[in-house]
Structure 1
Amino acid sequence: MIILLFTCFVILSFVSALLLSYELRQILHSFFASLIPKSKDRWTNAKQFAHELNSAASPEQIQSHWHLQQWWILIAGAVLFSSILLFAFTQPVTASKMEADYLKKVDPQIFAMLNGEMLDAPAEVEENLVQDAIAEALALESMNNSVISATNTVPTNLTMPDDAVFEAHSHNDLAGADRKWHKMNPRFKQRLLMVMKTMREQHGYEMVLLEGYRSPERQNNLATNINTTRAKGFQSYHQFGLAADIAFKRDGKVVISERDPWAMRGYQLYGQVAESVGLTWGGRWKSIQDYGHTEYRMPGLVKTREMAEKLTSEGQLQASNINVNP
């Protein structure tokens, strides 16, 4: 493809030079005139017209053939403009290419892990499937005889940073969650998509996004219940497009509850895979364990409103490909 584009560019450059150079046209004219028979009247008339058009570009014909000279300008301009269109359509600047260039510059680690291939976000999960999953999760949690097997218990003898702010999603609060991908920063989004791909291909778990970006207003509202989250607005990585809550999809249904042994096993695998690509998993926390939560603790991040706006706007590199209402 590169060779073809280079060849087209050389040809277009040569044609443009031919159209703009009187001397070059004269040389080519003399060459082809010696090869083509001149006996036919049609060729003679064509040759006469070509000669008149060609000679119009010479300095001696500026006054008498100015009207023909304008054609050379138009033809050369059309060829150059066509070359611009050719390269514009053969090398389009796609959203994926923009995201790849962005990650190559700001996060070469994830760019290297992806081998330059940008992963596409899946379709947004249907609202009715989430509502059914919430109802099923609440029913499971209300049953005293539904307990998690001891072999599926997540270890709690792990230390966490002193400044860690823990949070957990509440099933009742998922109705107001933002499940779109366009405000999630590519540095986190591509890591999460890589994890989802690994979970699907290696472990057979299909995953869906329950919540990605979360507004500071929604965060403050959730923080009124300390059993849901202890992070207020701009304290959670959700406001920076660097966190997400996920669930699993089995037989066409979304499964949220950790009391489902199959889902709990999936959360454990999810945590292992997420940590392997540099994400922090909420299932390791000592307080308010959140098995479906992962976040990217970007080095040097300053949690301010301005930084949140900057990082979430960077996540909209692919927004043009998604029909969303910001």
Structure 2
Amino acid sequence: MIIAIFIGFIFVSSSLALLFSYELRHKVQDFFVILIPQSKKQLHCAKQFIQQLNDAAAPEQVQSHWHLQQWWILISGFLLFSSILIFAFTRPINPTKIEADYLRDVDPQIYSLLDGQMLSPPAEVNASLIEEAIMAESQLDTQHSVQAETFNPNIEDLHMQHSNSDIASADRKWHKMNPRYKQRLLMVFKIMQERHGYEMVLLEGYRSPERQNLLAGNRHITRAKGFQSYHQFGLAADIAFKRNGKVVISERDPEVMKGYQLYGEVAESVGLTWGGRWKSIQDYGHTEYRMPGLRKTAEMAEQLTSEGQLLAHDIP
């Protein structure tokens, strides 16, 4: 659009210059007066050359016009080479093939599990649904806390300390996750939907070290600081379930809790670690890929998260 406006501006400016400048109009007129005869002469020569090429193509002219027949070979080779270049530079980029080639080289295990068929991420869940789920969970927390105090005022509800108020602002961009983890998680999403009837949504994928340090301030949420969590490397995510068009994050819902158990089993079957197995803080919606030989450094985090983003940038 900007290019079209710029070209239009140049055209209008040139037209106005021609209209208001007598000398410029005279020079342009003289230029075309000289150009037209030369063009006619060049066109006539070109027609003669083409006619000679056409005559040289006849079988009986092989011996006498062999030097002209070399032009046919040159022109044909040029057209063939040009068509190859045009195809190479104008064909659409296939992001699926890019990711498949990447995983085939760096992670043959998930590539073989997928049989070379890359899975596409679902649409990002609406933030309003996340906020509604947080409000519903807060109401359940309040009710549970009141009941606990009525039964025994000395009981401390640890679940209340798992603040969900920051989930709405969490990063849910799939391309910020490394393909090695992303494709495993997408496979889990597919199995959970097709085999068990659970629709899943991404609550948080990549997490910055600054956000990780902020969450680590509450030891009941996480004890991992920046670059100690797999979130910073694009190798971890937190999920929830979607039921009747609404996101459900409550672990007190029996159906949801059953879903988390199934989620853990499926995730472990594709090589992921499930937070529900942890002894200190059980995080049922969390999975991570503990990549062999991973060095938990800022440089490695930048490399692993940028791999997924570079693949995304290749998509037109």
Q: Is the shorter-chain TM-score for this pair beyond 0.5, marking a shared fold?
A: yes
In structure 2, do the counterparts of structure 1 residues 60 and 293 end up closer, same or farther at CA, with 3 Å as the change threshold? Answer: same
- Is contact 2:192–2:198 with CA below 8 Å preserved after alignment? yes
Give the distance between the partners of 1:82 and 1:246, measured in 2 at CA: 48
CA separation in 2, counterparts of 1:121 and 1:115?
Answer: 17
After superposition, give the CA deviation of every residue in 1:16-61 in whole Å (9 maximum; x if it has no partner). xxxxxxxxxxxxxxxxxxxxxxxxxxxxxx9976233679998987
Query: In the alignment, which residue of structure 2 is the partner of 1:5?
Result: none
The aligned residue for residue 238 of structure 2 is 245
Correspondence for 2:77 = 76
Q: CA, structure 1 residues 140+57, in 2 after alignment: closer, same or farther (shift >3 Å)?
A: farther
Could you say which residue in structure 2 is the equivalent of 1:50?
A: 54
| 1:11 counterpart residue number | none
Q: Report the Cα offset of residue 95 of structure 1.
A: 1.4
Which residue of the partner structure matches residue 31 of structure 1? none
Classify 1:313/1:249 alpha carbon distance in 2 versus 1 (closer, same or farther; 3 Å). same
SS in 1 for 2:143: coil
- Contact 2:162-2:220 within 8 A present in 1 as well: no
2:213 to 220, 237, 244: 220
Match of 2:292 in 1: 299
Root-mean-square deviation over aligned CA pairs: 3.1
Q: Which residue of 2 aligns with 1:97?
A: 97
- 1:264-279 matches, within 5 Å, as 264-279=257-272
**Structure 1 segments unaligned to the other structure (5+ residues):** 1-45, 148-167
Instruction: Give 1:186's aligned amino acid.
Output: P
The structure showing larger relative contact order (alpha-carbon pairs under 8 Å, at least 6 residues apart) is: 1
**Cα gap change, 1:89/1:321 in structure 2, threshold over 3 Å: closer, same or farther?**
closer
Q: What's the % identity of the aligned pairs?
A: 62
1:21 is aligned to none
If each structure's helix is expressed as a fraction of its own residues, which one has the higher value? 2
Contact 1:95 1:320 in 2 (8 A): no
* TM-score (ref. length: structure 1): 0.70
CA distance in 2, matches of 1:264, 1:56: 86
**Could you say which residue in structure 2 is the equivalent of 1:136?**
136
Count the aligned residue pairs. 253
TM-score by length of 2: 0.72
Equivalent of 1:311 in 269, 282, 304: 304
Deviates more, 1:281-290 or 1:237-246: 281-290
Are the structure 2 counterparts of residues 284 and 73 from structure 1 closer, same or farther at C-alpha, using a change threshold of 3 Å?
same
TM-fit CA distance, 1:70: 5.9
CA displacement at 1:85 relative to structure 2: 3.7
Q: 1:135 to 1:241 in 2, by over 3 A?
A: same
Is contact 2:233–2:300 with CA below 8 Å preserved after alignment?
yes
Q: Which amino acid aligns with 1:294?
A: T
User: Where do 5+ consecutive residues of structure 2 fail to align?
Assistant: 1-49, 148-160
The answer to whether the Cα contact below 8 Å between 1:99 and 1:318 also exists between their aligned partners in 2 is yes
Shift in CA distance, 213/301, structure 1 to aligned 2, threshold 3 Å: same
